[in-house]
Every structure is written in structure tokens, then in C-alpha cells.
Structure 1
Amino acid sequence: MFFKLDRYLLRNNIGLLLALIAVALAILMLERLIRITDLIAGSDDALQSAARMIGNLLPHYLGMALPGALLIATIISIERLSRSGEIVALMSTGVSLRRILRPYLGLAVVLALVSILISGFLQPVSRYNYRQIVHELKQSSIVTAFKERKFVQFDDKVVWTSKVNFAGRKLGETFIIDSSKGGDYKFITGHTGVLTESDDGTWTINLQDAMIGDLPAEITTSQGNRLNTAKVTWKMPTPIEGYRDRGDDQRELTLKELMSKSYLTDDKTIDPTAAQADMHDRLSRAALLIALPLISVVLGLQLGRVARSGGLAVGILLLVVVQKLLEFGLSLAQRGVVPPWAGTWPVVALVAVLAIYTFWRTASGRSAFPALWRVKPKAAAPSAPPETTA
């Protein structure tokens, strides 16, 4: 009977969980689709590039959707069972609330392991792959990379133009900033421009009625050097063959690499404090999933005659507050204000203690929180003595 009960409870929960994950992924992906559309515009294999980018974004958004989907699905499932009287029927046959919690807790443990797999291994690799695809799209076609009234970056060079005519490869008013490793800047402006491609595949911008200027890293005079000229030819950077190795920042490192601190032996500029804070953040978020079913059961359970409402809203509000606290703690830990573990683990521990305490009181037949005060009944006023007659 017990295994049938587990299957019955999980069957009602898993379907809702998957539906909520799908909805969350769709909502989170809408904002990024606008950027993807801009990146693939003009690409020869736009559909294939878009599919690759969306596929590499899924692990990132899946990790974000898991806590909310688990919390909401469990609250709704428990609320449905309570409203239909199934929870009362189970408890009348000797099934305790702790026994009802067991399948949901087991599901949370499985999702915690899945979260470690996603955040510890899939997300770093997919994040690197996404950046590589973006790099390839920017390097594939110089002409289609230009956007009207938008800054376009090519390595350490930035180009802005007011108008783009792809057919004639003509540009409107154009502004170019070319920075060097020493911190010096060179700027070039022109009223009109034309893109030309040479036989070796390099691109140049020919600016008419142009001005060239330079700005040193340390300004010693009141003005920089400027030169007005009728025409300027600026050679654009040659597309880079290949892409850099994975591990440019701590978010591209797997959990194994963060634990072994292999980034310290490589020639990388990764802050060890930020890397360790990121490792604790991934582990603590996975541990947080285990405490969510206890809170969900407390918020979704309805055993009284009058149905309570607001449990779902309270759960969502609690999850948002916890998420903001984790983000704030992570930022403090990455800056070295607090130890790497102290940014997120205290928040998770506080949520776990709150979840265990409220569930223990609920399973004992009491309210989730003790009453802060008790209203004493007013004493009845003394009645007047009966009148006697002589």
C-alpha cells in the first residue's frame, strides 16, 4: 500500500512539475529570443544558429526554474488533496503527515542531484558554447554585423553608424573608437562611409569628410590631437580563427574544476575568492531544494472546515525573498566582504530551520507558528441579586 501511495502522490505532482518547468522556460526564453533574433539576422544558417543558441541556454534557465516549479507544484498538489478530503482520509487510517511528505522529499533529493549536475557541469559548458556561437556569428559576416544607431564591438574596437545600406554597403555618419593595450584611444569620424572587401577577405571602411584624433591614457594637455581630412581608410580587424579556451571566468568552470582549484595553475585571471563563492552558491542552491517540500506541505495543507487561501502567494513571495538574499550574499562573498561560504549557506540554513520547525508543529496537530499573544475571555459581569418582597 505504501508504495502505491508514493506512486499516487508523485503521479499527481510530477505532471504539474513538468508543466510548470515548461511554462517557466518559455517565459524566461522570451526576453533572450529578442537578442537571438538580432544576432542571427543576416546569417546564412539562421535557423541552425538559433537552435544551437536556444539549446545552450536551456541548462541556465532550467536551473532557475527548478526551485519555483517544485515549490508551486507541491503546494498545489497538497492543496488539491486537502480540498478533496484525501489527506483527512489518509490520516484517519493511520498515515501520518510525515509519511505523506516522504515521496515529495524523495523527489526533492533527486532534483537536488539534478541541480548539481546542471549547475556544476552542464551550465559551464553550455555558457561557453553560447558565447562561442555569438562570437562566430559576429565574425561570420562583417556587413551584417552593423546595426543602425547601435554600437558594434570587434575585439577592442567599437563602431557606430547612423544608417546602413546593405545593398550598396554604404554607411551614414560613422564613429569608430580604436583602443590599444596601453590604454590609448584613437577615434575616427566621418559623414559618410563605404565598406569594401579586398581579395584576401579583409574589410576596410572608407570615410568621407572625416576627422582623426587620439587620446592618450594619461592626459597631460587640455586637448588631444585632431586632424581633419577629406578621406580616411580604416582597416577592420581580421576575424579571429577559432575561439578562446573555456574558463574565461568562474561561471565557465565546472564544479570539479572549482573544487580542485585547477584554475590557479592555469594562466587565467580568475579571482579565487569569486570562484569559491560561486562554488558554494551552486551547492547551497541545490541543498535549498530539499527544504522546499516541507514548506510546501505546510502552506498547502488545509484540514479545517474553512478553506484557507494565500498559501501559494506566500510561497512565491518567500521564494523571491530567498532568491534576492542569495544574490546579495553571493555578491558580498565575491567581493570578499564575507567568507565564500557565508554568502549563501546561512540563508539556506535559516530556510531549512524554518521549514523543519513549521512542519514539526503542523505534523503535531498545532498551528505552524505559535500565537504571539492569547486573548483572555472577558469575565462576566456580576448579576444583580433577585428582589425579595415582604
Structure 2
Amino acid sequence: MKLLARYLLKELIVPLVVWVAFLFLLLFVMQFLRGTEVLLGSAVTLVDIGRLILYLAPHFLVMALPIAFLLAILLGLGRLNEDRELTALQALGVSPTQLLAGPLAIGVFLGGLMLLLSFTGEPWGLTAVRDLVNDVIKKNVAGDVKSGVFYEDLSDLTLYAERVSGRGERWTHVLLHDDREPSSPLLVLAQTGRMSTSGGEEALRLVLRDGEVHRANRSTSDYSLLRFEEGEISVGLGGSMNRKNRFRSPKEEMTPGELLQVAEEAEKSGGDPRPFLMALHSRMGNAVAPLSFALLGTPLALGRRQSGRAWGYLLTLGGYVLFYLLSRAFENLGNQGKLPVLVAGQLANVIFIALGVFAMWRVSRSGTTR
């Protein structure tokens, strides 16, 4: 039995690693394409890309491991079925239930790994990604402002500098149009200016010297003029520039302790703690997903007909989509209070486990192949 267990593990682990690598690369490319305005900026380096991959790795692994595991089961055990090896094992007295031990062991391991990643690595990584992307946005602003060119990538702000020196952080003869308040826009003219990035996430500041501010009220004829020696205009990354930062996921950035703390504070202040509790139980539900996929995927692979590989892959992807839709639907019901958050977080797994037990019972009655 030890030899059989090692053989089955080999048949599962190799395709699992391949599928995880493929899905990881696919997820990164998709995320990269969503953030091209940031990640293809003039200030981005290979070190920044490497740090981004490192920070996003826990998040991508949590997303990729369940479906990669389900595909590995269909590919590994399905190959044994197609080559009639399972028929030979059945003739030697090996039952379909015994073949379930390998996938269940890997499912338990992957579930523990996902629980660890979602509780520790994923919040750390997504928080680091947010800080990294905000820093890159700031550096891109400094690098993309050119002499004699209007810079309009800041929402509702237009910046012009007749001359740019240094690394793009010092400007001469500056024009800034601020249309963040449409009813009373600002026109700022200054002899010199620079960009300051100190002070944290909300601290992209434009420091201007020796200039004047023109304010017009579009609803009236009022017009104001103010001269200044030094002034600052703050551009918050959480506001206009956050449209470029597509990597934020506030609840996913929280650890379990932080989610519980925020839920408790919301309850004390009369708010709704369910969204935070639901986020915690959703992570637990995702960690149980490999176990339910092992119970459902194994009988599907054992009972697959010959030459049904394409159908098997389609069934696998359809099963994962169904699991995702059910999870989201139950999560919404949990957020609305129509289901207890504990039930909402695990109900999709309960359904898949029940289907897996039924499918295994049918395969056990009819044999490994049909």
C-alpha cells in the first residue's frame, strides 16, 4: 500500500505543481495588465517588479491552489483510468475508496497551507503591495513631468513647468490648474516648485514658491487673487490617484485579529459587524475547499469515460465556477444577515462534500471505469 500511495501522490503532485505555476503566471499577467499605467511608468525598475511578485505571491497562491488541485486530480487519476491502470488495481482488490486517501491527504495539506497564507502572508503581502504601488505612483509623477509639456495624469489637476531639473522634482515657471472643486477652480502660477513625497500614503505634495493663486466662482462673478511666498497643494493617494492603484483590498489586508477587532468596534458603535466576520469565515471556507474538491474530483476522475479528457476539463472548470458562484451567493446572504456567517462561509463546501460522497458511492457500486 505504501508503494501505491507513493505512486498516486506522484501522479497528483506533478500536475499540481504545473497547474499552480501556470495559474500563478496567468494571474500575475492579468493583474499586470490591469495596472499598466502604474507598472509601466518611467520610474519602475526590475526590483519593483520583483517585489510586486513577492508581495502578491500569497494572494495568487490562495486563488490558484484550489482549481489547480481539482485539475491535477482530473489529470492524474484520469490518466490512470484511461490507461486501464485503475482497472488493474481494482482486479487486485484495491477499491475506489482506498484511492481517495491520496487526494484527501494532499487536500488537507493544501487546506492548512491556504489557511496559513490567508491569515498571515496574504494580509502582509497586499498591504506591502499597496505601499509599493503608491510609492511607484509618486515616483512616476516625478519622472513623467517634462519641460514644456502639460501633465494631466493626476485626476482634475493639470501641471505645467517651463523647465524641469534634477530627477523631475524641481520645476521653474510652474502653472497648476486645480479643478477638484468644479464650482470654483484654482489657477496657480509660481516661479519655482518641487514635489515632496514625505509623510506617508496621503503625502504627495506639490510645494510652490513665489506665486499667486487665482480663484474664479463659476456661479457668480466673484474673482479672488492671492499672492504667496510658499504654498502646498496636497494630492491624496486615497482620492484622485487611487484610481490608478487597482491593488487595494481593505478586508483582505486585515489579519483575523484585526477583523475581529473591527467587528467588535462596529458592534459597539451601532454598526454592522457582519461584513468583517463574513470575510473571516470566507477565508476559512476557502481553506476547506481543497478537501471538498478532493472528495468530488476523485470520483469524477475514476468514473470518467474513455476519450473524455476535454469533457473532464470542462466539468472541472464548471465545477469551480459553480463553487465560486455559490460561495459568493452565500457570502452575500451572510452579509445581509439571512444566513449565519459560519454557515454562509462553509455551505458551498458542505454541498460539494455531499455531492462528492454521493459520487464516490456510485463509483464504488459500479467500479472505477464505465
What is the TM-score with the length of structure 2 in the denominator? 0.75
Deviation at 1:132, TM superposition (A): 1.8
- Note closer, same or farther for the CA distance 1:76–1:160 as it changes in structure 2 (3 Å cut): farther
Amino acid at match of 2:186: I
- Contact kept, 8 Å, 1:165 with 1:171, in 2: the verdict is yes
Q: Per-residue displacement from partner, 1:306-351 (whole Å, max 9, x unpaired)?
A: 5445122111111112112212332443354543234332222111
Task: Report the aligned-residue RMSD.
Answer: 4.3
**Structure (1 or 2) with the larger CA radius of gyration:** 1
Amino acid at match of 1:51: G
Corresponding residue for residue 275 of structure 2: 274
Instruction: Give the letter for the 1:291 counterpart.
Output: S
Tell me the residue number matched to 2:13: 14
Q: Which residue of 2 aligns with 1:66?
A: 65
Which residue of 1 is the match for residue 38 of structure 2?
A: 38
What does residue 212 of structure 1 align with? 215
CA distance in 1 between counterparts of 2:100 and 2:197 reads 68
DSSP 3-state at the match of 1:94: coil
Partners of 2:28 and 2:173 lie apart in 1 by: 33
Aligned length: 339
Alignment of 1:1-390 (within 5 A): 2-34=1-33, 35=35, 38-39=38-39, 41-43=41-43, 46-139=45-138, 142-144=141-143, 148-152=151-155, 159-160=157-158, 169=171, 175-177=177-179, 187-189=185-187, 196-197=193-194, 203-204=206-207, 212-213=215-216, 223=219, 227=223, 235-237=232-234, 249-258=250-259, 261=261, 264=264, 272-302=273-303, 307-309=307-309, 310-336=311-337, 338-365=339-366
1:329, 1:343 within 8 Å by CA — same for their partners in 2? yes
| More displaced stretch, 273-282 vs 224-233 | 224-233
What displacement does 1:211 show? 5.5
Once the two structures are overlaid, the 10-residue window that deviates more, 165-174 or 107-116, is 165-174
Q: Deviation digits for residues 177-229 of structure 1, max 9, x if unmatched?
A: 557xxxx9863257x998623999973469999862579xxxxxxx3675376
- What SS does structure 2 have at the residue aligned with 1:197? strand
The C-alpha deviation readout for 1:111-134, integer Å capped at 9, x for no partner, is: 000110111111111111111222
Query: Could you tell me whether the CA contact under 8 Å between 1:20 and 1:73 is conserved in 2?
Result: yes
- Secondary structure of the 1:87 match is helix
Counterpart for residue 245 of structure 1: none
CA distance in 2, matches of 1:198, 1:357: 65
Matched-pair contact (CA < 8 Å) for 2:174–2:192:
no
Q: Give the aligned residue type for 1:114.
A: L
Q: Secondary structure at the match of 1:351?
A: helix
Q: Which has the higher contact order (CA 8 A, sep 6+)?
A: 2
Query: C-alpha displacement at 1:16, in angstroms?
Result: 0.9
- Cα pair distance change 1:297/1:141, threshold 3 Å: closer
Q: Which amino acid aligns with 1:38?
A: V
Structure 2 unaligned segments of length 5 or more: list them. Answer: 199-204, 238-248
Report the CA distance shift for 1:148/1:58 in structure 2 as closer, same or farther (over 3 A): farther
Mapped to 1, the partners of 2:98 and 2:162 lie a distance apart of 67
User: Counterpart of 1:244?
Assistant: none
Structure 1: gaps (5+ residues): 153-157, 216-222, 241-247, 369-390
The one-letter code of the counterpart of 1:203 is L
The Cα shift of 1:17 comes to 0.5
In the superposition, the TM-score normalised over structure 1's length comes to 0.72
Specify the alignment match of 1:384 in structure 2. none
When residues 46 and 343 of structure 1 are mapped into structure 2, their CA distance, relative to the original with a 3 A threshold, is same
Distance in 2 between residues matched to 1:330 and 1:175, nearest whole Å: 44
User: Partner of 2:94: helix, strand, or coil?
Assistant: coil
- The alpha-carbon deviation at position 163 of structure 1 amounts to 10
Q: Distance in 1 between matches of 2:162 and 2:19?
A: 43
